[in-house]
Each structure stands twice: as structure tokens, then as C-alpha cells.
Amino acid sequence: MSASGSNQWKDRLFRGLLWWAGLTMIFLAIGIFVSLVHQSWPAIRSLGTRFLTGRTWNPVSGQFGALPFVAGTLLTSVISLVLAIPFALSIALFLGEYFRTGPIAGLFKSLTELLAGIPSVIYGFWGLFVLVPWIRALELRIGAPPYGVGILTASLILTVMIIPYAASIARDVIDLVPQHLKEGAYALGATRFEVIRKVILPFARSGILAGIFLAFGRALGETMAVTMVIGNRNLLPKTLFDPGNTMASVIANEFTEAAGRLYLSALIEIGLLLFLITLVFHILGKWVIQRMQVPGES
């Protein structure tokens, strides 16, 4: 077999593997969705829209309202994302522009990867023994109920957890900014701050946004760390200091206790709802990234 024929055979094999991988992922996503719909159908048929708008979750009396969990999930995720973006962007610029090589860069890159790889239960323990007492002292100082656990505590835990994800992707994208663009800006008399603001950030913004949405998806589905510090109260939170629950945490807490068929189906419907919310934000993120992409950027 000639070299060209061998290369064509390898190319066809590689494309075939890519097609199989893509089809497998599609069938897997469809299978998860179909199974969630099938298992949650008794709750969908019995509860209807009351499941989405109800504020009361009381399995004993047969009341299943998921609004407190949706609110808790969105509150903790959005707050953590807002808090994480400045830190993640600062780390990405520090490693991608100021210290690209050398021992300092290696140390900070290793620390970033270490933070991303720490199990969530470790973050939960750290939150219980370190963060909760700090938040309780703050609540006592400002006159709020001294729970310690609550929406704010869970948001801070999520902030620490998602910073490495957003920072790593943003750093990689900043590294890919063509050097000649930056050198041209410097040649025209631009300062480093102006190069970052007018060259690096506009060119890398779609990749930075991709990292932000990836971090947001991690925050939406985080379970163990949030369960340990959010307070696990099935009520709609009124302030950031109130205990609450997320969709993931209520499933983790109550799935093994779900004895009745409707109770179990309602918990699976919460999982279906979390799946759909994650899908909506993923589609929204792809649309925003495409709109923000620089013409000619790969």
C-alpha cells in the first residue's frame, strides 16, 4: 500500500471514529432525557404546573413544589459566578500575559490545577469548619440570624470551586493571542494595560466566555459541597443569609428516603428540571459565544 493510500485509510478511520463518538454522545444525551421523562411521568401527570410554581415541599402531605430549589440553585450559581469572574480573569491575565514561563508561573499553574482537582466533599468540610464560623460571626455583627449555613455560604464555596475552571480556560485562550498583534500595538505606543484592554481581551473574549459558562455549568450541578453548607431547608430563601436548598442537594438528601411512588417521581422530575436548565444555559452560552467571536478567530 502506498503512503497516500495509507494516509487516506487512516483519515477515513479517524473520521469514522469521530462520527461514532458523536453519535454515541447524542444517543447518550437522548437516553438520559427519555429515561428521566419516563421515571418522572407520574409526577408530571399528577402535579402539572403546580410542581414548578409551588413553594411548599412536604412529602407527608403530598405537596411537591420545586420553586424553592430552583431559586436556591439559580441564586447560588449566579452569585458564585459574579464573584468568581474578577478572580478568574485576574489569574488568567497573570499567567497568560505577565508570567507565562518560569517558576512563578509553574507554581501558580500547579496550584490552579490542584484546586480544580480537589474533591467537592473536601470543600464541604472546609466550609463547615472554616467558612461557616466566619459567616456566623458576620451575621452576629450585622444582626442577622446566626445560622452560619445558607445561600451566601454555599455561594462562597461554589466561588472557590469554579475559579480554577474559568481561569484555566481563559489562560489557555490568552496564550493563543497572536504575538504580532501585541507587538504591533506596542510599536504604536500602547501601554501594557491598553494592549490587554484593546487587543488581548477582545481577541480572547469568546474563549473567556466559554470558560465562564463551563464554570457556571459546574456551579449549577454541584451537589456535595453545597449540601453540606446550604442548610437544607425546603423554603424559599428571603435573604442571602437564609438556609435553603438546591435541586442537586434536595435529591442527595431525600432520594434514599423516597418511599412513595409520587415522592420518588417528584425527585426525578427535579433532576429532569436541572437537566433542562443546564441545557438552556448551554445553548444560551453557545449563542453568546458565537455573537462575541472575533471575525477570523478560530
- Higher-confidence residue of 298 and 146: namely 146
Its pTM stands at: 0.86
**Domain residue spans of the chain:** 3-292
For 240, how many CA atoms within 13 A lie in the half-sphere containing its CB? 15
Question: pLDDT tens, 104-119?
Answer: 778 888 888 888 888 8
Question: pLDDT tens, 218-275?
Answer: 899 888 999 999 999 998 998 999 999 999 999 999 888 888 889 999 999 999 999 9
Question: pLDDT tens, 31-51?
Answer: 989 999 999 999 999 988 889
Side chain identity at residue 227, one-letter code: T
Q: Are 22 and 247 in contact (CB under 8 A)?
A: no
3-292 homologous superfamily: MetI-like (1.10.3720.10)
**Per-residue pLDDT at 69:** 94
- Statement: residue 96 has pLDDT above 90: no
CA distances from 139 to 61, 134, 146 (A): 34, 9, 5
Catalogue the E-assigned strands of the chain: 57-58, 63-64
